[in-house]
Amino acid sequence: MRPEEVAALPKTKALLFSSGASPVTLTLKPWYAERDAEKITDDNHAATGEVTAAAVAYLGPRNPLARALQATGPVEAPSL
């Protein structure tokens, strides 16, 4: 595909690249149209909070990036 063809792909299409294999065109399925969209949303928020909390814990509270992450909303420590 030429770059302009890739740029013209509709939002429902994606390209998958993997080493040792030819690129593949995928058809994306909108998660928000699924029956369990609410659960997917809840799980996404939980996972995002866990990753953010882990990043802040690793970086330390005085790190500028950690401060920016904390400013985006409440960060709870992940449960291990």
Residue 78 counted as domain residue: no
pLDDT in tens, 32-41: 888 999 999 8
Instruction: Give the whole-angstrom CA distance, residue 67 versus residue 61.
Output: 6
Q: What is the pTM of this model?
A: 0.56
Number of domains in the chain: 1
d(CA 56, CA 74): 11
Whether residue 77 lies inside any domain: the answer is no
**Any domain includes 9:** yes
80 belongs to a structural domain: no
Report pLDDT digits (tens) over 49-68.
899 999 999 999 899 999 99
Q: Is there a domain that residue 32 lies in?
A: yes
In a domain, 76, yes or no: no
By the 10 Å C-beta count (0-12 exposed, 13-18 middle, 19+ buried), 78 is classed as: middle
Residue-number span of the structural domain to which 22 is assigned: 3-71
